[in-house]
Structure 1
Amino acid sequence: MSGRAEAHHQHRDVTGGWLRPSVFGAMDGLVSNFALIAGVAGGTTNTKVIALGGVAGLAAGALSMAGGEYVSVASQRELAQAEIAVERRELARHPDDERAELAETFVDKGVEPGLAAEVARQISQNPERALEVHARTEIGVAPGDLPSPMLAAVSSFLAFAAGAVLPLLPYVLGAEGLEVSAMVSGVALFAAGAIVSVVTARSWWYSGLRQLVVGAVAAGVTFGVGSAIGATGL
């Protein structure tokens, strides 16, 4: 019989740096560029102007998302690294106190004090393992599990561009009115929301409908703004 416990289930990665920027980027690209195109279309019927606005929205939005994700994730990573460095110094300067602190955390989780002290002692024999356990317990992260700023930036850029190109595509292919872009965007919004439900606890129809409503409201408001501005001749 194997000495390792049998694994009856597996969990998905919820700490990586790809899922949130990818999902947020695609949704934001689709909603914001559809809303932008709707706003421009509300003020003019010139398809070249509308398409130009969509292209500019795609480029500016994708670059902005990528830059914002890179800076925010890099800042988060640097903060975590600084706190991990503090923990590393404390382990080197006050090993007994840190071992006692670790044992106390096990006791708080319901482990018998004597056993908790022995487990803390064994873990503390390996400095890197001790650092990982302390970091996870006190900071909530581990040195090897920090998110990648570049991965977050690239994921965000590609996802935003993929979402933003959908409402623009009908105009690039020669569509004359907003109706075709609205249909494509509506289907894409619902599909994107439904796909997200695969990695969440929500039903596909609820997630899809919610995303569709959000996009429709945003586009409706900006279309109204564009129509109002266009009517004034500005």
Structure 2
Amino acid sequence: MNEEAPRQGAEMHHQHRDVNGGWLRPSVFGAMDGLVSNFALIAGVAGGGAGTRVIVLAGVAGLAAGAFSMAGGEYVSVASQRELALAEIAIERRELERHPEAEQEELAKLYRDRGVDPAVAAEVARQISMDPETALEVHSEAELGVTSRDLPSPRIAAVSSFLSFAVGALLPLLPYLLGVTSLVTSAVISCLALFGAGALVSRVTARSWWYSGLRQLVVGVVAAALTFALGTLLGGTGL
């Protein structure tokens, strides 16, 4: 009887999309935030009858304020999240040092609750607990959903948010910086970018590219139209 050669590893018959979004999700959403907010700001100022100089000044101010705000907010948010996770991981480390038997039984119970045979669960927990660092990672992931290696960097998050927002906010402003004074040109570029960004989001969602693109386009156009109408109304009052 012929025996099959031992496999070197489990075969992968399918692939999953990155449900956490990786770099794509924060980058695309940051760019869309900058695009929508600055497009709406420029439309509102233009609707109020402002000249090109004022529109450019407003657009640049909107880009800078939004990018710095996004970067600062993202840094504080991610840093706080990281500090909280590290504090909880430190608590788990102390528990493993003070009560190793109880933590080993806790791990065995986790596997039993997931349907593993009690004897196998106990043996797996025993072997994992032989290495304190491995045990800490397994306990942290099971109880907290993260490990110390998975925690995001506040600096990277801040820089990514700043750059993605700035790129998005620059697009509706670009025609004015190049000497084109028509809001129509800015609107066309913004609409194309909105649809493209929305289509990119479909890579991390279950929606089709055209649905995601149209949805983002509609959201951006509605925001800009409402702001344009408000600017026109206020401009007509002489404010």
TM-superposed deviation, 1:44: 1.9
User: Which residue identity lines up with residue 122 of structure 2 in the other structure?
Assistant: A
Out of 220, 229, 234, the residue aligned to residue 234 of structure 2 is 229
**Pair 220,175 (structure 1): closer, same or farther in 2 beyond 3 Å:** same
TM-superposed deviation, 1:19: 3.6
Residue in 2 that maps onto 1:180: 185
2:19 and 2:204 in contact (8 A); partners too? no
RMSD (CA atoms): 1.5
What is the rounded CA distance, in whole Å, between the counterparts of 2:14 and 2:154 in structure 1?
30
TM-score scaled by structure 2?
Answer: 0.93
Q: Alignment identity in percent?
A: 72
1:17 and 1:148 in contact (8 A); partners too? no
Residue 79 (structure 1) aligned with residue 84 (structure 2): yes
**Pair 79,14 (structure 1): closer, same or farther in 2 beyond 3 Å:** farther
Residue in 2 that maps onto 1:163: 168
What is the rounded CA distance, in whole Å, between the counterparts of 2:20 and 2:100 in structure 1?
29
Residue in 2 that maps onto 1:104: 109
**Pair 205,36 (structure 1): closer, same or farther in 2 beyond 3 Å:** same
What is the rounded CA distance, in whole Å, between the counterparts of 2:173 and 2:200 in structure 1?
21
What is the rounded CA distance, in whole Å, between the counterparts of 2:55 and 2:234 in structure 1?
15
Residue 138 (structure 1) aligned with residue 110 (structure 2): no
1:29 and 1:161 in contact (8 A); partners too? yes
What is the rounded CA distance, in whole Å, between the counterparts of 2:45 and 2:88 in structure 1?
48
TM-superposed deviation, 1:22: 1.2
**Pair 61,232 (structure 1): closer, same or farther in 2 beyond 3 Å:** same
Out of 51, 54, 57, the residue aligned to residue 52 of structure 1 is 57
Out of 1, 4, 25, the residue aligned to residue 9 of structure 2 is 4
TM-superposed deviation, 1:13: 4.8
Out of 70, 76, 80, the residue aligned to residue 75 of structure 2 is 70
TM-score scaled by structure 1?
Answer: 0.95
TM-superposed deviation, 1:12: 5.1
1:18 and 1:152 in contact (8 A); partners too? no
* 1:66-110, Cα deviation, whole Å (9 max, x unpaired): 111111011111111011000000000000000000000000110
Residue in 1 that maps onto 2:66: 61
Out of 158, 174, 181, the residue aligned to residue 153 of structure 1 is 158
What is the rounded CA distance, in whole Å, between the counterparts of 2:138 and 2:20 in structure 1?
16
What is the rounded CA distance, in whole Å, between the counterparts of 1:187 and 1:157 in structure 2?
22
What is the rounded CA distance, in whole Å, between the counterparts of 2:148 and 2:27 in structure 1?
23
Out of 32, 35, 39, the residue aligned to residue 40 of structure 2 is 35
User: Which residue identity lines up with residue 92 of structure 2 in the other structure?
Assistant: E
What is the rounded CA distance, in whole Å, between the counterparts of 1:159 and 1:143 in structure 2?
27
User: Which residue identity lines up with residue 115 of structure 1 in the other structure?
Assistant: V
User: Which residue identity lines up with residue 64 of structure 1 in the other structure?
Assistant: S
Is there any run of 5+ residues in structure 1 with no aligned partner, and where? Answer: none
TM-superposed deviation, 1:61: 0.5
Out of 156, 176, 201, the residue aligned to residue 196 of structure 1 is 201
Is there any run of 5+ residues in structure 2 with no aligned partner, and where? Answer: 1-5
Out of 93, 102, 119, the residue aligned to residue 88 of structure 1 is 93
DSSP-derived class of the 2:149 partner: helix
2:25 and 2:204 in contact (8 A); partners too? no
